[in-house]
Structure 1
């Protein structure tokens, strides 16, 4: 148990460092995209409409501006949206990030980062493009913050200690993504649950809503 907690704490530390790097990178990309859009607007009249549209479409891929009402969640969704695009995965989001203001930045990054990464890993194995979809929702309901993420998966899931067994070659961190999510949920007096049936994996996190803001 002590070793497991040390691994989880180390994972959270690494994810905190990754968040800082991701935020800096996405900020730079967004600035560059803004500059390129301005330069394209100056080319109007010199290029055909189809050429302009092609340029705009190419830039829009890297336009990582996401506004959920929570800066940390904006960074995560921008980062994961690009990863999904690179892997031909559609990420659907209906998110009210403002209701997460009571959570620490590192906890938001770890919880959503692990949840979306797990979904991406599962969806990447699917060949049917209609099933290469991840749905995420964050909303307030009956005094609770309800976080829901679902995705299709392939094959049969096996379980160990009530958690799905990893399909990755490196099993050293088996199950620690979900264990980390569960630990964060419990930290805020909430809980995590999941359902795997009909080849759809559904992850649910419920947290009591709090008005106060985190000191980050």
Structure 2
């Protein structure tokens, strides 16, 4: 059984290795890895990237922290919903290439806990906490960006806009 599982994972990894969302190897790796996770959980995973996407002004580790964390949180929240499990990510250049826009949407059902202006984790075990929305917000600010969080009735979204010089 283990041998069969390893072969299946190997096939999936080969599929993802040949999958390409964009030319940026770091961003592409994040998007592909999260695709594997989402699809293994039966979650609809849609990525739409605009042409001439520029992320070169963001340090690799910060890009991994921002995009990786937001997609991880989105997948985790979508997994807990019973219907319409989805994670959607759109990235595109706006204002004639002077803005980088990142949009993350996911289904969710848990009531969110908000303290002052910050969302608090709903995870009971502190060891399960990631870097958090607050830290992602700090990274966005580091690059002069703005982040807006919206919690609708069944969909959660995070929108980030960076000015590209």
Q: Would you call these one fold, judging by a TM-score over 0.5?
A: yes
Structure 2: distance between partners of 1:59 and 1:175: 29
Q: Which residue of 1 aligns with 2:88?
A: 135
Using the size of structure 2 for normalisation, the TM-score is 0.82
Structure 1's unaligned 5+ residue stretches are: 1-54, 211-216
**Structure ranking higher in helix proportion:** 1
Using the size of structure 1 for normalisation, the TM-score is 0.64
Q: Which residue of 2 aligns with 1:19?
A: none
| Structural mapping, 1:36-51, within 5 Å | none
Q: Which residue of 1 aligns with 2:24?
A: 70
> Is the aligned partner of 1:123 residue 2:69?
no
* TM-aligned CA deviation for residue 61 of structure 1: 6.7
Structure 1: distance between partners of 2:77 and 2:40: 15
Structure 1: distance between partners of 2:142 and 2:159: 16
Q: Which residue of 2 aligns with 1:88?
A: 42
* TM-aligned CA deviation for residue 191 of structure 1: 1.3
4+ residue stretches of structure 1 with deviation over 4 A? 172-175
* TM-aligned CA deviation for residue 103 of structure 1: 1.2
| Structural mapping, 1:40-189, within 5 Å | 59=11, 62-64=14-16, 65-96=19-50, 98-128=53-83, 131-142=84-95, 143-171=98-126, 176-189=131-144
**Structure ranking higher in strand proportion:** 2
Say if 2:147 and 2:158, in contact at 8 Å, map to a contact too. Answer: yes
Structure 2: distance between partners of 1:71 and 1:178: 24
Structure 2's unaligned 5+ residue stretches are: 1-7
Which structure has the larger Rg over C-alpha atoms? 1
